[in-house]
């Protein structure tokens, strides 16, 4: 299996959601974290699925979750 095939699977989304849940679990529910990651993945669908795709998905999702967190704690 190539890295592109691995990144194209749901495991990429699950892994990103799991990582970010560790960072945001005190403020945001798992369903919110997962929804944000899935939405970001759909919006990034035009990007080439390589190793950088995972990094971009994490960064976009983390930025959006941070914004949500700030809105809830403001």
List the chain pLDDT tens, one digit each, 74 residues: 334 444 444 668 899 999 999 999 999 999 999 999 999 999 998 887 777 888 999 999 999 999 999 999 88
pLDDT score at 43? 93
Tokens of 73: 């704690």
pLDDT score at 13? 87
Task: Please identify which residue in the block is written with the tokens 């989304």.
Answer: 13
Please return the burial class of 35, using the count of CB atoms within 10 Å of its CB with bins 0-12, 13-18 and 19+: middle
Please return the burial class of 69, using the count of CB atoms within 10 Å of its CB with bins 0-12, 13-18 and 19+: middle
Largest Cα–Cα distance of the chain, in whole Å? Answer: 45
């Amino acid at each position: 299996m190539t890295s592109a095939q691995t990144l194209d699977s749901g495991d990429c989304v699950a892994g990103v959601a799991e990582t970010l849940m560790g960072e945001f679990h005190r403020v945001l529910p798992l369903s919110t974290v997962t929804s944000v990651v899935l939405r970001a993945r759909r919006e990034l669908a035009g990007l080439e699925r390589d190793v950088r795709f995972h990094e971009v998905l994490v960064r976009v999702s983390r930025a959006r979750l941070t914004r949500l967190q700030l809105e809830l704690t403001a």
